[in-house]
Every structure is written in C-alpha cells, then in structure tokens.
Chains A and B, each alone.
Chain A
Amino acid sequence: MELESVMRELEKARELRRKSADWAYIESRPEPLKTALKIFVETGDLWYASAMTGVPLDELNEERKKARIPLVVV
C-alpha cells in the first residue's frame, strides 16, 4: 500500500460519498446530526464527525447508512 495510491483512493472515496449521499435526507435531519453527516461525507472520518458534533459514534453510523453514505475501506 503506497502512500500516493492510498491518497488517490481516499479522494475517490470522498467523491463516492458525495455522489452516493441522499442529500435530501441529510438536509432533513436536525442539528447537530445534519452537520455530523456533512463532515463525514467530506472527511470519511466517523470519529471526528462524532467528536465535533457530540453525536454518538454508532448513532452517527446508523444515520450515515440511512443517508446512503458508504463507509469506504481503502
């Protein structure tokens, strides 16, 4: 696993999250959930999205599934 190829895969993963996300669902969620989901789309990092917004990690994981945001393993 070379660093450059991993970084490329991480960027592809970000694009995939953006394209796959159900944005209407995300926009319909109350705060801070909406912000947490948007952070996850951009970063792919559940922990930071959870820590920054106070949404529990596994609750956020369930919400990201409902919002059709894939968790991409590179």
Chain B
Amino acid sequence: MSLAIVDACFLINWSWFRQRNDLLNLFTRLVVPTPVLVEVRTERARSYLAELVVSRRLLIAPRVQAVDQLALKLFEVIDAEPHLPTIDPPEAYALALAKHMRVPLLTDNAAPKLATRYVEEVKDVEVLDSLDVLARLYLSTRLRSKVEEFMRDTGVLFSEGRLRDYGVAP
C-alpha cells in the first residue's frame, strides 16, 4: 500500500482537475493531517474529500505530539533562514508527518521542497508538486496536453524552468 501526505493547496488544486481520480493510480491512499483538514471548507474541495472517504482512499491523521515537536522545529529552522520561502504551520506539520511516516508529501508550495535540500532533518523526505505527479502519471507524449488541462482547470501555472525540465515547455 502506498500512502502520501497531502497539504491543503494541493488538495484544493486537484479538486478542480477533471482527471483528479488519476491521482489514485499513484497512491493507494491519501493522508490528510488534521491541521490541514480544517482548512478545506468549500463545497467542491469537501465533496472531493467525501468521495475519497467513501471509496476508502482517504485517511485522516490525528495530531500527534511527536510530529508537532518536529513541525515546530522545522517552522523555526526554515523561517529563520531569510533566503528560503516561508513555510506555514500546517505545511510544516505535513512535512514533519511525511518524515515520521516515511512517505512522500504532495504540495504545490516551494518551501517544503526547498527545505529538503537545505534542512538536515528533512533531507530524506520526498516532496512532489503537481507537475511531478502529472509527470509520473502520464507518458511524455500525453504529458503536455495533461499539463495544459491541469493549468486550465486549476488556475495553476508551472514555471518555464520546471516545464523545460520535463520537456513540455511551450
């Protein structure tokens, strides 16, 4: 069984994607930490969560003191570094939980991914954003059209550099 932790922005973005269920071809179950869950309130995102619950593809992770301690440490270390983008508390918790459970974190924010490059405590955590996930889901011949669909559906734009990395720059 392959699990992945998801943060709020990622969930919200994928709730708008017409092929959102393809995400379940990569991960058996998605894990939403409680501090992230409370941020998802709109009908669309909630109904996406409800679909996942009904199909038994969503787990809700309780708040755990050991994870909270690591999250606080990450929050302090990352946000004390002026050259790194800031990480918000629920995202720090999600990153800490990914470390604790040894599973990937799915997020569209830059801070957790950068933190895995520069912060010793989380160097072994795999962080994937939506473009990484799309590239794993679709072969290169279909990737460009799926990336375009994703950007149209969600209002997300991938930077040119990232698109070049995956060979799908316009």
Seen from chain A, the residues whose Cβ lies within 8 Å of a Cβ on chain B are 1, 3, 5-7, 9-10, 12-13, 16, 45-48, 50-51, 56-59, 61-62, 64-65, 68-74
| A47-B88, A59-B42, A73-B159 given; 19 more Cβ-contact pairs under 8 Å | A3-B83, A7-B83, A16-B157, A46-B9, A47-B39, A48-B86, A51-B88, A56-B39, A57-B12, A57-B40, A58-B41, A58-B42, A61-B9, A65-B155, A71-B9, A71-B13, A71-B155, A72-B157, A74-B162
Closest to A58 in B: B42
Closest approach, in angstroms, between the C-beta of B51 and any C-beta of chain A? 16
Q: Does B158 contact A (CB under 8 A)?
A: yes
Per the bound structure, the CA–CA distance linking A48 and B114 in Å amounts to 18
Contacts of A50 in B (CB 8 A): 39
Closest to B87 in A: A47
User: Would you call the interface of chain A mostly helix, strand, loop, or mixed?
Assistant: helix
Known: A6-B110, A58-B39. A70 touches B156 (CB 8 A): yes
Closest to B36 in A: A57
The interface size bin for chain B is: 35 or more
Contacts of B162 in A (CB 8 A): 73-74
Interface bits B137-170 vs A (CB < 8 Å: 1, else 0)? 0000000000000000011111101100000000
Per the bound structure, the CA–CA distance linking A45 and B111 in Å amounts to 10
Among residues 42 to 72 in chain B, which have CB atoms less than 8 Å away from a CB atom of chain A? 42, 44-45
Known: A48-B88, A73-B131. A9 touches B161 (CB 8 A): yes
Pick the 7 closest A-B CB pairs, nearest first: A47-B88, A70-B157, A65-B155, A58-B42, A74-B159, A57-B39, A9-B159
B157 engages A73 (CB within 8 Å) = yes
A74 engages B110 (CB within 8 Å) = yes
Per the bound structure, the CA–CA distance linking A72 and B161 in Å amounts to 12
B155 engages A72 (CB within 8 Å) = no
Known: A58-B12, A71-B156, A74-B159. A6 touches B39 (CB 8 A): no
Interface bits B1-24 vs A (CB < 8 Å: 1, else 0)? 000000011001100000000000
Per the bound structure, the CA–CA distance linking A6 and B81 in Å amounts to 15
Contacts of A64 in B (CB 8 A): 155
Known: A1-B114, A10-B85, A58-B42. A47 touches B131 (CB 8 A): no
